[in-house]
Amino acid sequence: MANNKLLVNERQTDLGTFMVGRLLPFRKKRQVGPFTYIDHMGPTTIGDGKYLEVDQHPHIGLCTLTYLLKGEIEHKDSTGVSHIIRPGDAGFMTSGKGVTHTERTPESLRNGELFDMHGYQIWVALPIDKEEMEPRFDFYASSEAPHWQEDGIDFKLIAGEGFGRKSPLVGYSPMFMVDISATKETTLDLRGKIEGEVAFVIVKGSINSDGQKVEAGQMLISKTDEECEICMDENTQILLFGGKPFAEERYLSWNFVSHSKERLKQAREDWENKRFPKVPGDETYIPFPSKIK
């Protein structure tokens, strides 16, 4: 999400077996599987005249995966889509060759009352052969995602494949994103359950690995891919995500992702010269940040 003030602060520590961080990308790890960037929204209380207002901004070469725990977001984009995303739902916008979108608090919540807001928006890089595809938006209601319990742990497969199951939100390359909750202390063993690089975002509670406690708001990245296990403390919720990395490096410039630095340069010129498609009926515009060279 562009210019979102609710971004989690970057924090990084090498723990030997794992790396802990606050968001992607950071210095020692630019991607986890195809996942390129994480925005953490909240938790916070908004309302009474102070609402989420993310004006029109562009993307290329990626998909935005919006997943809320509390609150609502109205998504609008230049394909003409307008959709409200609620807790447990997944909004999946494919930018491809170029899209613009806005994210705002729905009118139904602009009644002066306070409400909680908490969620994540995650960028998933596209394979090279999909980077210039036509943009689109797909919505997946919470009830569509596979949901099960195993050994006292509650699982919800938000995207991709894992644990012998497949989400209706498949994506464009091998990946997984799982919402996992434990009410009591338990061990989560991932061997044979997923494939590829893996990271854990701690939503609430804490996890332990190699004697190191990782708490809410932090991220743990495994250096050993899927062959790992962690201990979840009681009343802990995590987002597990990752997948097979691309063979080619991906570059980032503001809201743009590409395997080509020249393509990023072209996207910037296109945005500065107002060549991107517009969200219908919206004339707002977030300028390209001057601090980015």
- pLDDT tens-digit map of 109-128: 999 999 998 888 899 999 99
Per-residue model confidence (pLDDT) at position 28: 59
Per-residue model confidence (pLDDT) at position 19: 36
pLDDT above 50: residue 14: no
Per-residue model confidence (pLDDT) at position 2: 35
| 40 vs 108, more confident | 108
Per-residue model confidence (pLDDT) at position 228: 78
Judge if pTM exceeds 0.85.
Answer: yes
For 87-96, 116-125, 214-223, which range has the lowest pLDDT when averaged over its residues?
214-223
Who's near 233: CB < 8 A, 6+ residues apart? Answer: 182, 185, 205, 206, 207, 208
CATH of the domain at 137: 2.60.120.10
Distance (Å, whole) CA 239 – CA 158: 10
Q: Supply the range of the domain harboring residue 31.
A: 12-243
- Let me know if residue 7 belongs to a domain: no
* For residues 8-33, average pLDDT: 51
Band of the pLDDT at 216, cuts 50, 70, 90?
confident
- Let me know if residue 138 belongs to a domain: yes
User: What pLDDT, in 10s, does the model give residues 243-275?
Assistant: 999 999 999 999 999 999 999 999 999 999 999
- Let me know if residue 279 belongs to a domain: no
Per-residue model confidence (pLDDT) at position 214: 83
Task: With beta carbons less than 8 A apart as the criterion, state whether 200 and 249 touch.
Answer: no
- Let me know if residue 269 belongs to a domain: no
- Let me know if residue 233 belongs to a domain: yes
Q: What is the number of domains present in the chain?
A: 1
Task: With beta carbons less than 8 A apart as the criterion, state whether 18 and 207 touch.
Answer: no
- Let me know if residue 210 belongs to a domain: yes
C-alpha distances out from residue 40 to 45, 167, 207, 277, 283, Å: 14, 23, 18, 27, 27
Band of the pLDDT at 23, cuts 50, 70, 90?
low
C-alpha distances out from residue 259 to 71, 131, 165, 247, 280, Å: 35, 9, 30, 10, 30
262-266 contacts at long range (C-beta below 8 A, 24 or more positions apart): 263/60, 263/61, 263/131
| 292 vs 188, more confident | 188
- Let me know if residue 168 belongs to a domain: yes
| 6 vs 43, more confident | 43
- Let me know if residue 254 belongs to a domain: no
| 186 vs 15, more confident | 186
